[in-house]
Amino acid sequence: MIDKNWFTPVRYSHLTRHSGPGSIVRDRNDWLTRVLDTRHWPQDEMVQLHAVVRVKEHLKIDQKLLLPPTAVLDDAKNLKVIGASIPIQRFPNWMTCKGCRKLHYKPWDNQDTPINELMFCQSCGTSTLEQISWCAVSSHGDLADVPWHRICHRGSNKRCDIEQGVAYLKIETVGRNKKVQCTKCNAEAGFVSSDFKDIHHYQGNERINPSISDTNITYTIIEVNDPRIYNAQNAQALVIPPESNVDRGSLAYKLSINSQLINAIKTADRPLLRKKLIKRAARGLECSVTDLMAAIDVSDTPESPTVPNIMSGDMYEDEYAALIIEEVFPENADFKTLHYTTEWSAYIDSLERDSDPAMFGHLIGQLISVERLRVIEVFKGFSRMASDSEDFSPTPVLPPDIDNSTNWLPAIELFGEGIFFCLNQEIISNWESNHSLRLRAQELIRRYENSDMKLQDDIEITPRFIMLHTLAHLIIRELESAAGYPAASLQERIYSSTSGEMMGVLIYTAVPDVAGSMGGIVELAKPKQFLRILSAAMNHADWCSLDPVCSEMEGQGPAWLNRAACHACSLVPDTSCRYNNTLLDRIFLKGSIEEGIPSLMDSVRDYYGKENI
């Protein structure tokens, strides 16, 4: 009988981020485990994503995109597993006694203890064991157990042989210092932030990339929750017309995502087996046998509609065009918009001419409700950062399968809705022509170029981008406080260009379920509700509870990539921001008299007076 405690549920969206291949996660039994690379995943149980030709081209991906496997434990049938699961291993392999502090290597190999029960020290016999929270990493992707014996005896004249399974080492804490001691020869050494080389032969540790010389690899001992240990590399793109117009409820589409089923029917060598497979497939697809056979005969349809003239660098341009162009969509389309621009203009014109809400309203060029969207998020690989990366050479990014031996990548699809708005082209063009504004932006650009931070998207940092990004964060925070949406459930996409006319923001919520959200964001896109949110966000840009300190800060956040932006005014949960909560500055919204930077409202009033709106 399978014990359900061997299985740990994890969110789909976590598998492309902090719980992806190569990461360390904590399971339901409080064990630290590492997620095995995709070579060990049950590919035969995974479903291929379709209608993603444009997405793959934009993200520069040649491999197939497969949904991670799902497994269900059926308690009514003796815990029978339905589906497939992602394999993990307990890691680190060392445990320490809470009483005598002695170290034990893989004690579960010698104790017949259920995975959900405590393990006891076989040395003192009374205290329980807990997993060591230290491991060794290299910037080439290696993740290994700490060579405690070697660390302890480094620099010591005494030599002790390694005794597998025998508790003779222990960890002691003296003040803030941690050290490992040998109870046989009394050798000891500190190990926090220690660096060393050539450990892959120690107690079964294996090199990720054996082609690299061991003399070039430095390992660093760090805690398993250290942010340097794992950095997921993922990419996102919207599915837009014509691919989004595919009818996902049609029998043809269902067959297209069940190619294995079709092949099994066509290659069945016995009539009875073929008949059995056809009946089973008809029940599963909820159609008649006649309809199924007719669909199979014409099942050589392409993966998705033809998508001409795709350029890898045009992802945001294509999405932007799809968002601003008004068209009629099929009922079951994965991408549907409703334009409120005409209603928005009429509503703003009905307000008192010199009021602040009217001024805020003239800042918006287009207002669009995204009633339905589908986002593809692909896990492209991961990196680790240890001491051998301090020469400022690029940190290698390892693919999900480590050695590029498979022809697929794990990916998820998210469904939801959002609000999209563009700013007034003439107002922003006038605003960003200010010389002092460009000088302030240049300082953030210089800091970013001198930092080791690499953002997910290939962006061009400009005054326009910084302003749009900061405004997006303020609106997300306002949606949380005024509309009741948790900020962690919202995400942003910034559309900004220097040579083109892109100056828009998409704020959306998306979940790994075809139902998406419940329409709350769509309601907030209506002119009256959105103006209230926009006005509150712009007012909050003027004053932070930590002002004047926040507004006058020379730098904040990672690598000082924020200026007037802190947790009290502009930062949002990391899951909501594509740019690591950096490149934010309220001065680009509220202006600065001392620096000669105009506020957005100054530019609106200037335009308002000239045009006599």
How many Cα atoms sit within 13 Å of 580 on the Cβ side? 19
8 or 218, greater pLDDT: 8
Residue 516 φ then ψ, to 5° = 65, -150
**Whole-angstrom distance, CA of residue 348 vs CA of residue 533:** 14
Looking up tokens 């929750």 gives 225
Neighbouring C-beta atoms of residue 111, cutoff 10 Å? 13
Contact 214, 298 (CB under 8 A): no
- The residues, ordered by sequence, that sit 6+ positions from 331 with a Cβ below 8 Å of its Cβ are none
Whether 322 and 374 have beta carbons less than 8 Å apart is answered as: no
DSSP one-letter string for 533-578: HHHHHHHHHH--TTTTHHHH-S-BSGGG-BSS--TTTT---GGG-T
The CB density around residue 507, as the number of other CB atoms within 10 Å, is 24
How many Cβ atoms are within 10 Å of 164's Cβ, its own excluded? 7
- Who contacts 592 (Cβ-Cβ below 8 Å, separation ≥6)? 436, 551
Check if the beta carbon of residue 474 is closer than 8 Å to that of residue 573.
no
For the ranges 248-252, 387-391, 582-586, the one whose mean pLDDT is highest: 582-586
Is the N-terminal amide bond of 548 cis, ω within 30° of 0?
Answer: yes
pLDDT in tens, 217-273: 778 888 999 888 998 999 999 999 988 887 776 776 777 666 666 667 777 778 888
With both helix axes pointing from N to C terminus, report the angle between 435-450 and 463-483 in degrees, rounded to the nearest 10.
90
Q: Are 92 and 64 in contact (CB under 8 A)?
A: no
pLDDT at 532: 95
Question: How far is Cα 173 from Cα 456, in angstroms, rounded to an integer?
Answer: 39
pLDDT value, residue 92: 94
Coil/strand/helix, residue 320: helix
Q: In one letter, which amino acid is 170?
A: K
pLDDT above 70: residue 420:
yes
Cβ-count burial 22-48 (b if 16+ within 10 Å, e if not): bbbbebeeebbbbbebbeebebeebeb
φ and ψ of 348, to 5 deg? -65, -40
Read off the pLDDT band of 1 (50, 70, 90). Answer: very low
Say if residue 613's pLDDT is above 60: no
For residue 533, pLDDT over 80 is answered with yes
pLDDT of 256? 65
Q: What is the pLDDT of residue 418?
A: 94
Fill in the amino acid letter for 102.
K
- Identify each DSSP E strand in 84-144 by its residue range: 88-90, 94-97, 103-105, 129-131, 134-137, 143-144
**For residue range 93-124, what is the model confidence (pLDDT) as tens digits?**
999 999 999 999 999 988 888 888 999 998 88
Q: Which of 233-237, 248-252, 426-430, 449-453 has the lowest mean pLDDT?
A: 248-252
**Quick check: 375 and 33 in contact, CB under 8 A?**
no
**293-301 long-range contacts, CB within 8 A, separation 24+:** 295/251, 295/252, 295/255, 296/255, 296/262, 296/265, 296/266, 298/252, 299/252, 299/255, 299/256, 299/262, 301/252, 301/256
Average pLDDT of the residues in 533-561: 93
First-to-last alpha carbon distance for the chain, in angstroms, is 75
Are 415 and 373 in contact by the 8 Å Cβ rule? The answer is: yes
Question: Would you tell me how many other CB atoms lie within 10 Å of the CB of residue 332?
Answer: 14
Residue 356 has pLDDT above 70, yes or no: yes
**Is residue 142 within 8 Å of 385, Cβ to Cβ?**
no
The percent of residues in the chain predicted with pLDDT above 70, rounded, is: 86
- Euclidean distance between CA atoms 144 and 512, whole angstroms: 33
CA distance 581 to 570: 9
Gap between the Cα atoms of 407 and 62, Å rounded: 8
pLDDT at 171 over 50: yes
- Min mean pLDDT across 63-67, 81-85, 507-511, 514-518 is at 514-518
Q: What is the pLDDT of residue 312?
A: 45
Kind and range of the H or E run holding 289: helix 289-297
SS (H, E, C) 463-481: HHHHHHHHHHHHHHHHHHH
